[in-house]
Amino acid sequence: MSLLFKGGKIAAEEGPLVPGDVLVVDGVITAVGKKLEAPKGVRVVDVTGRIVAPAMFDSHVHFREPGQEHKEDLAHGSEAAINGGVTGVVMMPNTSPAIDSAGVVRTLLDKAAEVSRIPVYTSGCITKGRAGTELAGIDGMRKLGVTMLTDDGDPVVDPALLKNAMEYATPFGMFFASHCEVPELAGPRALNEGKVSYELGIKGSPACSEEICMDRDIRLAHAAGAHVHIQHVSSALGMETIRWWKERGVRVTAEVSPHHLIFNEDDIGDYDTHYKMNPPLRTEEDNAALLAGLKEGVFDLIATDHAPHSEFEKSQDFVTAPNGITGLESALVSLFDRFVVPGEFGWDLLVKRYSAEPRRMMGLPAVPIEEGKPAELIVFDPAGETTFTREFMKSKSANTPFLDQTLKGSVDLVLLGNEILLERD
């Protein structure tokens, strides 16, 4: 298959949008430049007024398989990713059974190869069954390509066990992703401790629960010579903790989610569980600080923490309802709508933090729009709109604050190699 994307602007992780055409032949970008002529037999795709960008990559998703397929599964989760312009994902291991051994990893990767049209990677547990008492089958998972170890959904409470794991796995080239909270402080994990929790009469989870554990895990990684990645940072002080350690040369990376940039505790309103997540939404001041940290580079990447739940589960009372929202389908459009349109940041940041750096963290090459590179790209219409109806969404679940909302921007086409995965009318 040969395609010429003509008349658009090309996005890269450094610099502004640049007008240019992109020629793709047999899954490889063979030419990039202005006013390219279409060779015989090439399909011309008119992308005038639109943006050609590297496809996104999400290093923190929950596909719920095995054990919770009523919420999500590999097939639906990967199609949700494509719907949002994402062509690679890393699954979290808090499934049932947990992804803690070579056997479970092999089963999942074999299934993904059958049902997913995009590459699907998985993390592995630090501890067996995520129980926090003994190490998981780390070496067996490593031999199947697992590089990220995490007990995401919970911290590893025993610091000695975590340090031991870091000392064991680091020489293998593996790294650790930390879900940070002190269980004794976190309470019911329902919402931030503050004015809204007091108004709603629900015990809140203080930011210090996250921040104390974050500092502990980075200190342990420093002592063990390990690379630690801090997941879904939600508070300004947590971000400053990461900055402090980075300035001292510690191998720490960090992610921020779209929902912690966009929403805060004031959005919860009348016990709306679509705004319930862990770590919880914090304050408007935290939103501003996290955005500044993303622009400054304190955060290495954006990750959605895509966390599907059934309508029945999310319709329970606020404390009982599970934490989490979906994000794969709405991330790119919502970030464009809320931040690119008003000029807070540009496409260069989106490409760097939601495409290039997540891939690099996983030991994968970035996918720039450059001659000789494999074609892994999207076409995005900044003048378009996306309405997140249930019919539009490919995920099994629709627990998102954006449900039935219309945002600016549209992912119009997704190309992976020699296959068009998505092309809207």
Residues taking part in catalysis: 305
Residue 425 has pLDDT above 90, yes or no: no
Which tens digit of pLDDT belongs to each residue from 11-21?
999 999 999 99
Residue 320 has pLDDT above 90, yes or no: yes
Q: The whole model's pTM is what?
A: 0.97
From 146, 125, 139, select the one nearest 168 (Cα to Cα): 139
CATH class of 2-52+371-423: mainly beta
The 3-state DSSP class for residue 292 equals helix
Conformational region of residue 409, where left means phi above 0, alpha means psi within -120 to 50, and beta covers everything else: left
Look at residue 189 in the predicted model and tell me its pLDDT. Answer: 84
Look at residue 282 in the predicted model and tell me its pLDDT. Answer: 98
Look at residue 328 in the predicted model and tell me its pLDDT. Answer: 98
Which tens digit of pLDDT belongs to each residue from 163-219?
999 999 999 999 999 999 999 999 888 899 999 999 999 999 999 999 999 999 999
Is the Cβ–Cβ distance between 222 and 210 less than 8 Å?
no
Q: Where in the chain is the domain with CATH 3.20.20.140?
A: 55-361
Look at residue 188 in the predicted model and tell me its pLDDT. Answer: 83
Q: What mean pLDDT comes out for the span 116-138? A: 98
Which tens digit of pLDDT belongs to each residue from 331-370?
999 999 999 999 999 999 999 999 999 999 999 999 999 9
Q: What is the CATH number of domain 55-361?
A: 3.20.20.140
| Res. 412 pLDDT band, cuts 50 70 90 | very high
Q: Alpha-carbon torsion 196, 201, 202, 204, what sign?
A: positive
Q: Where in the chain is the domain with CATH 2.30.40.10?
A: 2-52+371-423
Which tens digit of pLDDT belongs to each residue from 50-70?
999 999 999 999 999 999 999
Mean residue pLDDT of the chain comes to: 97
Is the Cβ–Cβ distance between 28 and 370 less than 8 Å?
no
